[in-house]
Structure 1
Protein backbone atom coordinates (compact mmCIF):
# COMPACT_ATOMS: atom_id res chain seq x y z
CA UNK A 1 0.00 0.00 0.00
CA UNK A 2 2.83 2.37 0.82
CA UNK A 3 4.46 1.67 -2.52
CA UNK A 4 1.17 2.31 -4.32
CA UNK A 5 0.65 5.54 -2.42
CA UNK A 6 4.19 6.72 -3.16
CA UNK A 7 3.73 5.88 -6.82
CA UNK A 8 0.43 7.73 -6.89
CA UNK A 9 2.02 10.84 -5.35
CA UNK A 10 4.87 10.65 -7.83
CA UNK A 11 2.43 10.35 -10.71
CA UNK A 12 0.51 13.38 -9.48
CA UNK A 13 3.71 15.41 -9.24
CA UNK A 14 4.72 14.28 -12.72
CA UNK A 15 1.30 15.18 -14.15
CA UNK A 16 1.42 18.57 -12.43
CA UNK A 17 4.82 19.35 -13.93
CA UNK A 18 3.71 18.24 -17.41
CA UNK A 19 0.49 20.27 -17.27
CA UNK A 20 2.38 23.31 -16.02
CA UNK A 21 4.87 23.11 -18.88
CA UNK A 22 2.11 22.59 -21.44
CA UNK A 23 0.14 25.51 -20.00
CA UNK A 24 3.16 27.81 -20.29
CA UNK A 25 3.72 26.68 -23.90
CA UNK A 26 0.04 27.19 -24.70
CA UNK A 27 0.05 30.70 -23.25
CA UNK A 28 3.25 31.52 -25.11
CA UNK A 29 1.60 30.38 -28.33
CA UNK A 30 -1.81 31.95 -27.83
CA UNK A 31 -0.73 35.35 -26.53
CA UNK A 32 0.87 36.57 -29.80
CA UNK A 33 -2.21 35.42 -31.73
CA UNK A 34 -4.62 37.15 -29.37
CA UNK A 35 -2.48 40.27 -29.33
CA UNK A 36 -2.44 40.48 -33.14
CA UNK A 37 -6.21 40.04 -33.35
CA UNK A 38 -6.76 42.65 -30.61
CA UNK A 39 -4.33 45.09 -32.23
CA UNK A 40 -6.04 44.74 -35.60
CA UNK A 41 -9.36 46.00 -34.18
CA UNK A 42 -8.01 48.51 -31.65
CA UNK A 43 -7.55 52.24 -31.91
CA UNK A 44 -4.14 52.83 -33.54
CA UNK A 45 -3.39 55.58 -31.01
CA UNK A 46 -3.82 53.11 -28.13
CA UNK A 47 -1.31 50.77 -29.81
CA UNK A 48 1.18 53.60 -30.29
CA UNK A 49 0.88 54.59 -26.63
CA UNK A 50 1.51 51.01 -25.50
CA UNK A 51 -1.87 50.74 -23.79
CA UNK A 52 -2.75 47.44 -25.47
CA UNK A 53 -1.71 44.27 -23.66
CA UNK A 54 -4.31 41.65 -24.50
CA UNK A 55 -7.87 42.91 -24.92
CA UNK A 56 -8.73 45.44 -27.66
CA UNK A 57 -8.99 49.12 -26.79
CA UNK A 58 -11.59 51.38 -28.44
CA UNK A 59 -12.67 48.78 -31.01
CA UNK A 60 -12.64 49.91 -34.63
CA UNK A 61 -12.63 47.99 -37.92
CA UNK A 62 -11.11 50.74 -40.03
CA UNK A 63 -7.96 48.73 -40.73
CA UNK A 64 -9.97 45.82 -42.13
CA UNK A 65 -12.04 48.17 -44.27
CA UNK A 66 -8.90 49.62 -45.86
CA UNK A 67 -7.31 46.19 -46.34
CA UNK A 68 -10.37 44.63 -47.95
CA UNK A 69 -10.84 47.63 -50.20
CA UNK A 70 -7.46 46.97 -51.78
CA UNK A 71 -8.04 45.05 -55.06
CA UNK A 72 -4.55 43.53 -54.88
CA UNK A 73 -5.45 41.77 -51.62
CA UNK A 74 -8.58 40.25 -53.15
CA UNK A 75 -6.71 39.22 -56.30
CA UNK A 76 -3.98 37.62 -54.20
CA UNK A 77 -6.62 35.79 -52.18
CA UNK A 78 -8.19 34.41 -55.34
CA UNK A 79 -4.84 33.32 -56.77
CA UNK A 80 -3.74 31.66 -53.53
CA UNK A 81 -6.99 29.71 -53.29
CA UNK A 82 -6.61 28.53 -56.89
CA UNK A 83 -3.00 27.48 -56.34
CA UNK A 84 -3.95 25.75 -53.09
CA UNK A 85 -6.90 23.78 -54.52
CA UNK A 86 -5.25 22.79 -57.80
CA UNK A 87 -1.84 22.16 -56.26
CA UNK A 88 -3.10 20.11 -53.30
CA UNK A 89 -5.29 18.00 -55.58
CA UNK A 90 -2.32 17.20 -57.80
CA UNK A 91 -0.16 16.55 -54.73
CA UNK A 92 -2.59 14.04 -53.25
CA UNK A 93 -3.12 12.17 -56.54
CA UNK A 94 0.59 11.93 -57.37
CA UNK A 95 1.71 11.12 -53.84
CA UNK A 96 -0.97 8.46 -53.36
CA UNK A 97 -0.17 6.70 -56.63
CA UNK A 98 3.57 6.77 -55.99
CA UNK A 99 3.23 5.62 -52.39
CA UNK A 100 0.90 2.76 -53.34
CA UNK A 101 3.30 1.52 -56.02
CA UNK A 102 6.30 1.64 -53.67
CA UNK A 103 4.35 -0.14 -50.91
CA UNK A 104 3.56 -3.17 -53.06
CA UNK A 105 5.66 -6.21 -52.16
CA UNK A 106 5.44 -7.61 -55.69
CA UNK A 107 6.80 -4.45 -57.32
CA UNK A 108 10.33 -5.18 -58.44
CA UNK A 109 12.78 -2.33 -58.26
CA UNK A 110 10.88 -0.42 -55.58
CA UNK A 111 13.96 -0.18 -53.37
CA UNK A 112 16.02 1.27 -56.23
CA UNK A 113 13.30 3.82 -56.99
CA UNK A 114 13.03 4.74 -53.33
CA UNK A 115 16.79 5.31 -53.25
CA UNK A 116 16.62 7.51 -56.35
CA UNK A 117 13.73 9.51 -54.90
CA UNK A 118 15.57 9.95 -51.62
CA UNK A 119 18.64 11.18 -53.51
CA UNK A 120 16.63 14.19 -54.74
CA UNK A 121 16.06 15.24 -51.12
CA UNK A 122 19.80 15.76 -50.67
CA UNK A 123 20.88 17.18 -54.04
CA UNK A 124 19.33 19.42 -56.69
CA UNK A 125 20.41 21.19 -59.83
CA UNK A 126 20.59 24.68 -58.31
CA UNK A 127 18.50 27.75 -58.88
CA UNK A 128 19.89 28.94 -62.23
CA UNK A 129 19.82 25.56 -64.06
CA UNK A 130 16.35 24.90 -62.66
CA UNK A 131 15.18 28.33 -63.83
CA UNK A 132 16.49 27.69 -67.36
CA UNK A 133 14.86 24.26 -67.53
CA UNK A 134 11.51 25.53 -66.31
CA UNK A 135 11.45 28.54 -68.61
CA UNK A 136 13.12 27.33 -71.83
CA UNK A 137 12.43 23.59 -71.90
CA UNK A 138 9.21 23.04 -69.97
CA UNK A 139 7.45 26.35 -70.54
CA UNK A 140 6.76 26.68 -66.83
CA UNK A 141 7.06 30.43 -66.55
CA UNK A 142 4.54 33.10 -65.61
CA UNK A 143 1.59 30.69 -65.54
CA UNK A 144 -0.47 28.60 -63.14
CA UNK A 145 1.46 25.37 -63.70
CA UNK A 146 4.78 26.69 -62.46
CA UNK A 147 3.16 27.04 -59.04
CA UNK A 148 1.85 23.46 -58.86
CA UNK A 149 3.75 21.09 -61.19
CA UNK A 150 7.34 21.41 -59.83
CA UNK A 151 6.05 20.75 -56.31
CA UNK A 152 3.71 17.95 -57.37
CA UNK A 153 5.35 15.41 -55.04
CA UNK A 154 7.20 15.85 -51.77
CA UNK A 155 9.51 12.87 -51.32
CA UNK A 156 9.24 13.14 -47.54
CA UNK A 157 5.44 12.96 -47.73
CA UNK A 158 5.69 10.13 -50.26
CA UNK A 159 7.78 8.07 -47.85
CA UNK A 160 5.37 8.80 -44.99
CA UNK A 161 2.37 7.64 -47.02
CA UNK A 162 4.21 4.56 -48.30
CA UNK A 163 5.04 3.61 -44.72
CA UNK A 164 1.40 4.06 -43.75
CA UNK A 165 0.25 1.74 -46.53
CA UNK A 166 2.81 -0.87 -45.46
CA UNK A 167 2.19 -0.78 -41.71
CA UNK A 168 -1.44 0.23 -41.23
CA UNK A 169 -3.27 -1.62 -44.02
CA UNK A 170 -2.99 -5.44 -43.95
CA UNK A 171 -1.55 -6.77 -47.19
CA UNK A 172 -4.02 -9.65 -46.97
CA UNK A 173 -6.79 -7.21 -47.91
CA UNK A 174 -5.04 -6.47 -51.19
CA UNK A 175 -4.49 -10.15 -51.88
CA UNK A 176 -8.16 -10.87 -51.22
CA UNK A 177 -9.13 -8.06 -53.59
CA UNK A 178 -6.90 -9.48 -56.34
CA UNK A 179 -8.41 -12.93 -55.84
CA UNK A 180 -11.85 -11.35 -56.35
CA UNK A 181 -10.68 -9.91 -59.66
CA UNK A 182 -9.85 -6.32 -58.66
CA UNK A 183 -7.25 -4.45 -60.65
CA UNK A 184 -4.56 -2.31 -59.04
CA UNK A 185 -6.55 0.86 -59.67
CA UNK A 186 -9.75 -0.59 -58.24
CA UNK A 187 -7.89 -1.96 -55.22
CA UNK A 188 -6.41 1.48 -54.58
CA UNK A 189 -9.75 3.27 -54.95
CA UNK A 190 -12.06 0.82 -53.16
CA UNK A 191 -9.77 -0.76 -50.55
CA UNK A 192 -6.77 1.45 -49.80
CA UNK A 193 -8.19 4.98 -49.94
CA UNK A 194 -11.22 4.40 -47.66
CA UNK A 195 -8.81 3.12 -44.99
CA UNK A 196 -6.38 6.00 -45.49
CA UNK A 197 -8.44 9.02 -44.40
CA UNK A 198 -6.06 9.93 -41.52
CA UNK A 199 -2.94 10.02 -43.69
CA UNK A 200 -4.81 11.78 -46.50
CA UNK A 201 -5.89 14.49 -44.05
CA UNK A 202 -2.28 14.87 -42.89
CA UNK A 203 -0.99 15.12 -46.45
CA UNK A 204 -3.71 17.60 -47.44
CA UNK A 205 -2.81 19.77 -44.45
CA UNK A 206 0.93 19.62 -45.12
CA UNK A 207 0.55 20.38 -48.83
CA UNK A 208 -2.17 22.99 -48.29
CA UNK A 209 -0.14 24.99 -45.78
CA UNK A 210 2.91 24.78 -48.05
CA UNK A 211 0.95 26.15 -51.02
CA UNK A 212 -0.70 28.87 -48.96
CA UNK A 213 2.62 30.10 -47.54
CA UNK A 214 4.59 29.72 -50.77
CA UNK A 215 6.09 32.91 -52.13
CA UNK A 216 9.59 32.10 -53.42
CA UNK A 217 8.37 30.31 -56.56
CA UNK A 218 6.12 33.26 -57.38
CA UNK A 219 8.99 35.65 -56.73
CA UNK A 220 11.18 33.88 -59.29
CA UNK A 221 8.77 32.66 -61.96
CA UNK A 222 5.78 35.05 -61.98
CA UNK A 223 6.01 38.46 -63.61
CA UNK A 224 2.39 39.54 -63.93
CA UNK A 225 1.06 41.21 -60.80
CA UNK A 226 -2.42 39.76 -61.33
CA UNK A 227 -0.95 36.25 -61.02
CA UNK A 228 0.77 36.87 -57.70
CA UNK A 229 -0.42 34.90 -54.66
CA UNK A 230 -1.46 36.57 -51.44
CA UNK A 231 1.94 36.12 -49.81
CA UNK A 232 3.64 38.14 -52.54
CA UNK A 233 1.03 40.88 -52.21
CA UNK A 234 1.65 41.01 -48.47
CA UNK A 235 5.39 41.10 -49.09
CA UNK A 236 5.05 44.10 -51.37
CA UNK A 237 2.86 45.86 -48.81
CA UNK A 238 4.98 45.18 -45.75
CA UNK A 239 8.52 45.19 -47.13
CA UNK A 240 8.22 47.76 -49.89
CA UNK A 241 6.20 50.11 -47.67
CA UNK A 242 3.28 50.38 -50.10
CA UNK A 243 0.76 50.67 -47.28
CA UNK A 244 0.92 54.45 -47.17
CA UNK A 245 -1.25 54.70 -50.28
CA UNK A 246 -3.76 52.24 -48.76
CA UNK A 247 -3.95 54.23 -45.54
CA UNK A 248 -4.26 57.58 -47.26
CA UNK A 249 -7.72 59.09 -47.15
CA UNK A 250 -9.49 62.38 -47.31
CA UNK A 251 -9.28 64.47 -44.16
CA UNK A 252 -6.58 62.36 -42.52
CA UNK A 253 -3.32 63.82 -41.35
CA UNK A 254 0.03 62.17 -41.95
CA UNK A 255 0.21 61.09 -38.31
CA UNK A 256 -3.21 59.44 -38.52
CA UNK A 257 -2.19 57.63 -41.70
CA UNK A 258 0.99 56.32 -40.07
CA UNK A 259 -0.98 55.08 -37.07
CA UNK A 260 -3.49 53.39 -39.35
CA UNK A 261 -0.66 51.66 -41.19
CA UNK A 262 0.34 49.92 -37.98
CA UNK A 263 -3.19 48.60 -37.47
CA UNK A 264 -3.33 47.51 -41.09
CA UNK A 265 -0.20 45.40 -40.63
CA UNK A 266 -1.97 43.40 -37.95
CA UNK A 267 -5.15 43.20 -40.02
CA UNK A 268 -3.24 41.80 -42.99
CA UNK A 269 -1.69 39.11 -40.79
CA UNK A 270 -5.14 38.08 -39.55
CA UNK A 271 -6.65 38.11 -43.05
CA UNK A 272 -3.83 35.99 -44.49
CA UNK A 273 -3.92 33.45 -41.64
CA UNK A 274 -7.69 33.10 -41.39
CA UNK A 275 -8.22 30.39 -44.09
CA UNK A 276 -5.77 27.95 -42.49
CA UNK A 277 -7.24 28.62 -39.04
CA UNK A 278 -10.71 27.83 -40.38
CA UNK A 279 -9.70 24.68 -42.26
CA UNK A 280 -7.66 23.06 -39.51
CA UNK A 281 -10.61 22.28 -37.17
CA UNK A 282 -12.35 20.45 -40.04
CA UNK A 283 -9.49 17.96 -40.40
CA UNK A 284 -8.22 18.02 -36.82
CA UNK A 285 -9.57 14.57 -35.89
CA UNK A 286 -7.96 12.84 -38.87
CA UNK A 287 -4.88 15.03 -38.63
CA UNK A 288 -4.12 14.07 -35.02
CA UNK A 289 -4.74 10.40 -35.74
CA UNK A 290 -2.47 10.47 -38.77
CA UNK A 291 0.34 12.25 -36.93
CA UNK A 292 0.20 9.68 -34.10
CA UNK A 293 0.45 6.71 -36.47
CA UNK A 294 4.22 6.59 -36.40
CA UNK A 295 4.28 6.86 -32.60
CA UNK A 296 1.94 3.96 -31.94
CA UNK A 297 3.30 1.69 -34.64
CA UNK A 298 6.88 1.79 -33.36
Structure 2
Protein backbone atom coordinates (compact mmCIF):
# COMPACT_ATOMS: atom_id res chain seq x y z
CA UNK A 1 0.00 0.00 0.00
CA UNK A 2 1.57 3.33 -1.02
CA UNK A 3 2.25 5.82 1.71
CA UNK A 4 -0.07 8.81 1.72
CA UNK A 5 1.77 12.07 1.25
CA UNK A 6 1.12 14.92 3.62
CA UNK A 7 0.03 18.37 2.53
CA UNK A 8 3.46 19.73 3.44
CA UNK A 9 5.23 17.17 1.22
CA UNK A 10 2.95 17.94 -1.72
CA UNK A 11 3.50 21.67 -1.21
CA UNK A 12 7.25 21.13 -1.12
CA UNK A 13 7.13 19.16 -4.40
CA UNK A 14 5.13 21.92 -6.08
CA UNK A 15 7.51 24.60 -4.84
CA UNK A 16 10.51 22.53 -5.89
CA UNK A 17 9.06 22.01 -9.37
CA UNK A 18 8.33 25.73 -9.78
CA UNK A 19 11.83 26.62 -8.60
CA UNK A 20 13.41 24.23 -11.11
CA UNK A 21 11.25 25.62 -13.92
CA UNK A 22 12.31 29.18 -13.11
CA UNK A 23 15.94 28.10 -12.82
CA UNK A 24 15.76 26.30 -16.18
CA UNK A 25 14.27 29.36 -17.87
CA UNK A 26 16.90 31.64 -16.33
CA UNK A 27 19.61 29.29 -17.59
CA UNK A 28 18.18 28.80 -21.08
CA UNK A 29 17.05 32.35 -21.85
CA UNK A 30 20.52 33.93 -22.37
CA UNK A 31 21.30 31.32 -25.03
CA UNK A 32 17.91 31.83 -26.69
CA UNK A 33 18.44 35.60 -26.61
CA UNK A 34 21.75 35.24 -28.43
CA UNK A 35 20.18 32.84 -30.95
CA UNK A 36 17.19 35.10 -31.65
CA UNK A 37 19.43 38.17 -31.92
CA UNK A 38 21.75 36.45 -34.38
CA UNK A 39 18.93 35.84 -36.90
CA UNK A 40 17.06 39.11 -36.29
CA UNK A 41 16.89 42.02 -38.70
CA UNK A 42 19.82 44.27 -37.63
CA UNK A 43 17.93 47.56 -37.89
CA UNK A 44 14.99 46.24 -35.85
CA UNK A 45 17.25 44.65 -33.27
CA UNK A 46 19.26 47.76 -32.37
CA UNK A 47 16.03 49.70 -31.84
CA UNK A 48 14.41 47.01 -29.68
CA UNK A 49 14.46 47.16 -25.89
CA UNK A 50 13.19 44.56 -23.45
CA UNK A 51 12.88 40.78 -23.31
CA UNK A 52 13.48 39.09 -26.65
CA UNK A 53 11.15 36.08 -27.07
CA UNK A 54 11.42 35.62 -30.84
CA UNK A 55 13.53 36.85 -33.75
CA UNK A 56 12.77 40.36 -34.99
CA UNK A 57 12.32 39.44 -38.61
CA UNK A 58 14.58 36.72 -39.99
CA UNK A 59 17.89 36.90 -41.81
CA UNK A 60 21.06 34.86 -41.91
CA UNK A 61 23.23 37.61 -43.38
CA UNK A 62 25.20 37.84 -40.14
CA UNK A 63 26.13 34.15 -40.39
CA UNK A 64 27.16 34.60 -44.03
CA UNK A 65 29.45 37.44 -43.02
CA UNK A 66 30.89 35.42 -40.14
CA UNK A 67 31.74 32.46 -42.36
CA UNK A 68 33.24 34.77 -44.99
CA UNK A 69 35.75 35.96 -42.40
CA UNK A 70 38.95 33.93 -43.03
CA UNK A 71 39.98 34.27 -39.37
CA UNK A 72 36.87 32.34 -38.27
CA UNK A 73 37.70 29.38 -40.52
CA UNK A 74 41.35 29.48 -39.53
CA UNK A 75 40.41 29.79 -35.87
CA UNK A 76 38.18 26.73 -36.20
CA UNK A 77 41.00 24.67 -37.70
CA UNK A 78 43.42 25.80 -35.00
CA UNK A 79 40.93 25.03 -32.24
CA UNK A 80 40.24 21.57 -33.65
CA UNK A 81 43.99 20.93 -33.59
CA UNK A 82 44.31 22.16 -30.00
CA UNK A 83 41.29 20.13 -28.89
CA UNK A 84 42.28 16.94 -30.71
CA UNK A 85 46.02 16.85 -30.03
CA UNK A 86 45.75 18.50 -26.61
CA UNK A 87 43.02 16.18 -25.33
CA UNK A 88 44.84 13.09 -26.62
CA UNK A 89 48.02 14.16 -24.82
CA UNK A 90 46.03 15.01 -21.68
CA UNK A 91 44.38 11.59 -21.60
CA UNK A 92 47.69 9.82 -22.21
CA UNK A 93 49.59 11.68 -19.49
CA UNK A 94 46.74 11.52 -16.99
CA UNK A 95 46.23 7.80 -17.58
CA UNK A 96 49.92 7.02 -17.12
CA UNK A 97 50.14 9.06 -13.92
CA UNK A 98 46.89 7.70 -12.51
CA UNK A 99 47.86 4.10 -13.28
CA UNK A 100 51.23 4.42 -11.53
CA UNK A 101 49.72 6.00 -8.42
CA UNK A 102 46.91 3.42 -8.26
CA UNK A 103 49.27 0.44 -8.07
CA UNK A 104 49.75 -1.26 -4.73
CA UNK A 105 53.26 -1.31 -3.35
CA UNK A 106 54.49 1.72 -5.32
CA UNK A 107 57.51 3.20 -3.53
CA UNK A 108 56.82 6.59 -1.91
CA UNK A 109 53.31 6.66 -3.35
CA UNK A 110 51.88 8.72 -0.47
CA UNK A 111 54.71 11.24 -0.69
CA UNK A 112 54.16 11.69 -4.42
CA UNK A 113 50.43 12.13 -3.90
CA UNK A 114 51.11 14.79 -1.29
CA UNK A 115 53.36 16.70 -3.71
CA UNK A 116 50.73 16.46 -6.44
CA UNK A 117 47.97 17.71 -4.13
CA UNK A 118 50.14 20.67 -3.07
CA UNK A 119 50.26 21.84 -6.70
CA UNK A 120 46.46 22.20 -6.59
CA UNK A 121 46.74 24.89 -3.92
CA UNK A 122 50.05 26.59 -4.73
CA UNK A 123 51.55 27.49 -8.08
CA UNK A 124 54.27 29.75 -9.38
CA UNK A 125 51.82 32.03 -11.16
CA UNK A 126 51.77 33.62 -14.57
CA UNK A 127 55.23 35.22 -14.65
CA UNK A 128 57.25 32.05 -13.80
CA UNK A 129 55.10 30.08 -16.25
CA UNK A 130 55.73 32.67 -18.97
CA UNK A 131 59.48 32.58 -18.30
CA UNK A 132 59.44 28.77 -18.42
CA UNK A 133 57.52 28.65 -21.71
CA UNK A 134 59.85 31.28 -23.17
CA UNK A 135 62.96 29.52 -21.84
CA UNK A 136 62.17 26.18 -23.48
CA UNK A 137 61.41 27.82 -26.83
CA UNK A 138 57.66 27.39 -27.02
CA UNK A 139 56.76 31.06 -27.52
CA UNK A 140 54.59 31.71 -30.58
CA UNK A 141 54.15 27.96 -31.04
CA UNK A 142 51.07 25.72 -30.99
CA UNK A 143 52.74 23.59 -28.33
CA UNK A 144 52.69 26.52 -25.90
CA UNK A 145 48.95 25.86 -25.52
CA UNK A 146 49.29 22.09 -25.17
CA UNK A 147 52.45 21.05 -23.29
CA UNK A 148 52.26 23.32 -20.18
CA UNK A 149 48.81 21.96 -19.33
CA UNK A 150 49.43 18.36 -20.37
CA UNK A 151 48.05 17.01 -17.09
CA UNK A 152 45.64 18.23 -14.44
CA UNK A 153 46.30 17.10 -10.86
CA UNK A 154 42.56 17.15 -10.08
CA UNK A 155 41.68 14.99 -13.09
CA UNK A 156 44.52 12.59 -12.34
CA UNK A 157 43.24 12.06 -8.80
CA UNK A 158 39.75 11.31 -10.16
CA UNK A 159 41.15 8.82 -12.67
CA UNK A 160 43.46 7.26 -10.07
CA UNK A 161 40.51 6.59 -7.79
CA UNK A 162 38.60 5.02 -10.69
CA UNK A 163 41.57 2.78 -11.54
CA UNK A 164 41.70 1.57 -7.93
CA UNK A 165 38.17 0.17 -8.40
CA UNK A 166 39.40 -2.28 -11.05
CA UNK A 167 39.75 -5.73 -9.41
CA UNK A 168 43.34 -6.65 -8.61
CA UNK A 169 42.63 -10.23 -9.72
CA UNK A 170 42.39 -9.07 -13.34
CA UNK A 171 45.86 -7.58 -13.14
CA UNK A 172 47.25 -10.71 -11.51
CA UNK A 173 45.73 -12.90 -14.23
CA UNK A 174 47.17 -10.69 -16.95
CA UNK A 175 50.64 -10.83 -15.39
CA UNK A 176 50.46 -14.63 -15.28
CA UNK A 177 49.85 -14.50 -19.04
CA UNK A 178 52.95 -12.33 -19.50
CA UNK A 179 51.30 -8.91 -19.79
CA UNK A 180 53.29 -5.84 -18.83
CA UNK A 181 52.08 -2.60 -17.29
CA UNK A 182 51.32 -0.89 -20.61
CA UNK A 183 49.30 -3.89 -21.78
CA UNK A 184 47.37 -3.97 -18.52
CA UNK A 185 46.68 -0.23 -18.72
CA UNK A 186 45.55 -0.03 -22.34
CA UNK A 187 43.84 -3.42 -22.69
CA UNK A 188 42.32 -3.96 -19.24
CA UNK A 189 42.17 -0.88 -17.03
CA UNK A 190 41.13 1.76 -19.58
CA UNK A 191 38.42 -0.36 -21.26
CA UNK A 192 36.92 -1.00 -17.81
CA UNK A 193 37.05 2.72 -16.98
CA UNK A 194 35.14 4.14 -19.96
CA UNK A 195 32.80 6.34 -17.85
CA UNK A 196 35.66 8.21 -16.15
CA UNK A 197 37.55 8.29 -19.45
CA UNK A 198 34.57 9.97 -21.13
CA UNK A 199 34.45 12.52 -18.31
CA UNK A 200 38.14 13.27 -18.77
CA UNK A 201 37.62 13.76 -22.52
CA UNK A 202 34.77 16.16 -21.73
CA UNK A 203 36.74 18.11 -19.11
CA UNK A 204 39.89 18.44 -21.20
CA UNK A 205 38.08 18.97 -24.51
CA UNK A 206 35.87 21.76 -23.21
CA UNK A 207 38.89 23.33 -21.52
CA UNK A 208 40.83 23.44 -24.79
CA UNK A 209 37.80 24.65 -26.74
CA UNK A 210 37.21 27.59 -24.38
CA UNK A 211 40.87 28.49 -23.86
CA UNK A 212 41.93 31.95 -25.02
CA UNK A 213 44.07 33.51 -22.28
CA UNK A 214 47.14 31.34 -22.89
CA UNK A 215 46.88 32.04 -26.61
CA UNK A 216 46.73 35.77 -25.94
CA UNK A 217 49.87 35.53 -23.77
CA UNK A 218 52.02 33.17 -25.83
CA UNK A 219 50.96 33.61 -29.47
CA UNK A 220 52.02 36.56 -31.62
CA UNK A 221 51.16 35.11 -35.03
CA UNK A 222 47.47 35.60 -35.83
CA UNK A 223 47.42 32.46 -38.00
CA UNK A 224 47.89 30.39 -34.81
CA UNK A 225 45.00 31.96 -32.90
CA UNK A 226 42.24 29.62 -31.66
CA UNK A 227 38.60 30.42 -32.33
CA UNK A 228 37.96 31.85 -28.87
CA UNK A 229 40.70 34.46 -29.25
CA UNK A 230 39.28 35.46 -32.64
CA UNK A 231 35.85 35.73 -31.04
CA UNK A 232 37.28 37.85 -28.23
CA UNK A 233 38.67 40.28 -30.77
CA UNK A 234 35.28 40.52 -32.48
CA UNK A 235 33.23 40.90 -29.28
CA UNK A 236 35.46 43.06 -27.10
CA UNK A 237 37.47 45.06 -29.60
CA UNK A 238 34.54 45.44 -32.07
CA UNK A 239 36.69 44.06 -34.89
CA UNK A 240 33.80 43.53 -37.33
CA UNK A 241 34.79 45.97 -40.06
CA UNK A 242 36.54 43.32 -42.14
CA UNK A 243 33.28 41.33 -42.24
CA UNK A 244 31.16 44.26 -43.46
CA UNK A 245 32.94 45.39 -46.61
CA UNK A 246 29.69 45.23 -48.60
CA UNK A 247 27.59 47.07 -46.01
CA UNK A 248 26.90 50.78 -46.30
CA UNK A 249 28.21 53.19 -43.69
CA UNK A 250 24.86 53.84 -42.01
CA UNK A 251 24.08 50.14 -41.69
CA UNK A 252 27.42 49.04 -40.23
CA UNK A 253 26.51 49.53 -36.57
CA UNK A 254 23.32 47.39 -36.53
CA UNK A 255 24.87 44.66 -38.67
CA UNK A 256 27.95 44.67 -36.43
CA UNK A 257 25.75 43.95 -33.40
CA UNK A 258 24.09 40.89 -34.94
CA UNK A 259 27.47 39.65 -36.23
CA UNK A 260 28.67 39.48 -32.61
CA UNK A 261 25.77 37.24 -31.64
CA UNK A 262 26.20 35.07 -34.73
CA UNK A 263 29.87 34.63 -33.80
CA UNK A 264 28.88 33.45 -30.31
CA UNK A 265 26.51 30.84 -31.76
CA UNK A 266 29.10 29.63 -34.28
CA UNK A 267 31.67 29.19 -31.50
CA UNK A 268 29.28 27.59 -28.99
CA UNK A 269 27.13 25.10 -30.91
CA UNK A 270 29.88 22.56 -31.81
CA UNK A 271 30.88 21.94 -28.19
CA UNK A 272 27.20 21.75 -27.17
CA UNK A 273 26.72 18.91 -29.63
CA UNK A 274 29.34 16.89 -27.73
CA UNK A 275 27.38 16.81 -24.47
CA UNK A 276 24.54 14.43 -25.49
CA UNK A 277 27.07 11.74 -26.41
CA UNK A 278 28.98 11.98 -23.12
CA UNK A 279 26.20 12.88 -20.69
CA UNK A 280 25.29 9.26 -19.89
CA UNK A 281 28.85 8.69 -18.68
CA UNK A 282 29.19 11.98 -16.83
CA UNK A 283 27.54 11.31 -13.46
CA UNK A 284 28.79 7.73 -13.26
CA UNK A 285 32.35 8.72 -14.13
CA UNK A 286 32.53 11.56 -11.64
CA UNK A 287 31.01 9.45 -8.84
CA UNK A 288 33.44 6.59 -9.49
CA UNK A 289 36.34 8.99 -9.17
CA UNK A 290 34.90 10.86 -6.20
CA UNK A 291 33.62 8.37 -3.67
CA UNK A 292 35.68 5.23 -3.89
CA UNK A 293 39.06 5.16 -2.20
Instruction: Give TM class, smaller chain.
Output: over 0.9
Q: Matches of 1:295 and 1:226 in 2, distance apart? A: 40
How much has 1:294 moved relative to structure 2? Answer: 5.4
Q: Matches of 1:21 and 1:29 in 2, distance apart? A: 12
Q: Matches of 2:223 and 2:143 in 1, distance apart? A: 15
Instruction: Say how many residue pairs are matched.
Output: 292
Q: Matches of 1:294 and 1:130 in 2, distance apart? A: 29
Q: Matches of 1:192 and 1:66 in 2, distance apart? A: 48
Q: Is the 8 A contact 2:160 2:289 kept in 1?
A: no
Give 2:189's aligned residue.
192
The runs of 5 or more residues in structure 1 that have no matched partner are none
Q: Matches of 1:224 and 1:279 in 2, distance apart? A: 29
Q: Among 280, 284, 296, which residue is 2:279 paired with? A: 284
How much has 1:75 moved relative to structure 2? Answer: 0.7
Q: Among 225, 228, 249, which residue is 1:253 paired with? A: 249
| 1:10-46 residue CA offsets vs partner (Å, 9 max, x unmatched) | 5544433332222221111111111111110111122
Give 1:18's aligned residue.
16
Q: Is the 8 A contact 1:248 1:257 kept in 2?
A: no
- TM-score in terms of structure 1 length: 0.91
Q: Matches of 2:292 and 2:3 in 1, distance apart? A: 30
Report 1:173-192 matches (<5 A).
173-192=170-189
Report 1:1-298 matches (<5 A).
4-6=3-5, 11-50=9-48, 53-136=52-135, 138-166=136-164, 168-250=165-247, 252-254=248-250, 256-293=251-288
How much has 1:295 moved relative to structure 2? Answer: 6.8
- TM-score in terms of structure 2 length: 0.93
Q: Is the 8 A contact 2:196 2:289 kept in 1?
A: no
Q: Matches of 2:187 and 2:10 in 1, distance apart? A: 47
RMSD: 2.1
Distance 1:97 1:259, change over 3 A: same
Q: Is the 8 A contact 1:244 1:258 kept in 2?
A: no
